[in-house]
Amino acid sequence: MRVVGRPLDAATWSLVTQCPLVRLESGSRKPGRLGEGAVKIYRHCVLFAGLSLAVSAAAAQAAKVNSVLDMPEFVHDWQISKQFTLEVANAMPADLYSFKPNPEEMTFGEQMIHIAGSNVFRFHQITGIEPPFQFDPGKAMPSDKATAVKLLEQSYDYVLDVLPKITPENLQRTWHIPSWKGRSDPDGRAMIINMFAHTAHHRAQCEVYMRAKGIKPPDYSF
């Protein structure tokens, strides 16, 4: 079996002759032989098939990327984050809530208040749903242990309540936030992802504070 002088095995010959255009061009030629026209058509068929597979693979990959998390999974992640953050907050003795490793940083208590307040502030901004307390990033709040733990609980309960209520319009709307380097005009989708990362960032700082005081943080949970 040959395609213009190049031998074809039985399996390849069977595949080639399945193409209707090849069969039409080949006409009554003997089995195992293809004319120049049929060869050209066959090559185009192979090219088209290859492109189709590439497009299908790209579409499948895009579908996977677009469905990394659905809302119930994301809510579950926030539930785990709530449990873990409260474990960290409760593991630090009350008398060390005023501790900070250097003057430029927030105290442990201020870090926890910052987590709670920022989540309430941003999710209220995204959804417009009334939060359990008001938070002004420019104003100091009490940062003792009892207050911090209470506000953390309220903030997480608020986030877990509003997450399933977020609409496509909420996700598509954009805000201008100059302090967000690299993404100063995020949409709602970018904002909720960033707030999850923001919480982890400041919680990790608090764990370093604990280590500085010889306290083992709770085991990492995700």
Q: What is the extent of the structural domain holding 52?
A: 2-66
Output the pLDDT for position 137. Answer: 85
Q: Which two tokens stand for residue 80?
A: 């785990």
Helix 71-91 / helix 188-212 crossing angle, nearest 10 deg: 20
In a domain, residue 6? The reply is: yes
How far, in Å, CA of 89 to CA of 115, rounded?
11
How far, in Å, CA of 211 to CA of 96, rounded?
12
How far, in Å, CA of 109 to CA of 92, rounded?
9
Domain boundary among 50, 66, 82: 66
CATH number at residue 199: 1.20.120.450
Q: Which portions of the chain are predicted below pLDDT 70? A: 1-67
Are 54 and 89 contained in the same domain?
no
What's CA 93's distance to the chain center, in Å? Answer: 34
In a domain, residue 217? The reply is: no
Q: In whole numbers, what is the pLDDT of the chain averaged over residues?
A: 82
In a domain, residue 155? The reply is: yes
> Residue 222, CB half-sphere, CA atoms under 13 Å: how many?
6
Are 77 and 141 contained in the same domain?
yes
In a domain, residue 172? The reply is: yes
Are 122 and 40 contained in the same domain?
no
Domain boundary among 15, 38, 66: 66
Neighbour count for residue 111 (Cβ, 10 Å): 25
Are 95 and 9 contained in the same domain?
no
For residue 76, give the amino acid letter.
Answer: H
| 6 DSSP assignment | E
In a domain, residue 53? The reply is: yes
SS3 content of the chain, % helix, strand, coil (to 5): 65, 5, 35
The angle at the Cα of 202, spanning 148 to 222, to the nearest 5 degrees, equals: 100
How far, in Å, CA of 60 to CA of 158, rounded?
35
Are 31 and 77 contained in the same domain?
no
CB 93 within 8 A of CB 209: no
Q: Count of domains in the chain?
A: 2
Domain boundary among 42, 66, 90: 66
- Cα-Cα-Cα-Cα dihedral sign, residues 175, 180, 186, 189: negative
The per-residue pLDDT for range 75-108, each reduced to its tens digit, is 999 999 999 999 999 999 999 999 999 999 999 9
In a domain, residue 222? The reply is: no
Are 47 and 114 contained in the same domain?
no
Are 121 and 145 contained in the same domain?
yes
How far, in Å, CA of 137 to CA of 133, rounded?
13
In a domain, residue 124? The reply is: yes
Q: Is 32 left (phi over 0), alpha (psi -120 to 50) or beta?
A: left
Output the pLDDT for position 222. Answer: 78
Q: Kindly provide the b/e burial profile for residues 41-71, where b requires at least 16 CB atoms within 10 angstroms of the residue's own CB.
A: bbeebeeeeeeeeeeeeeeeeeeeeeeeeee
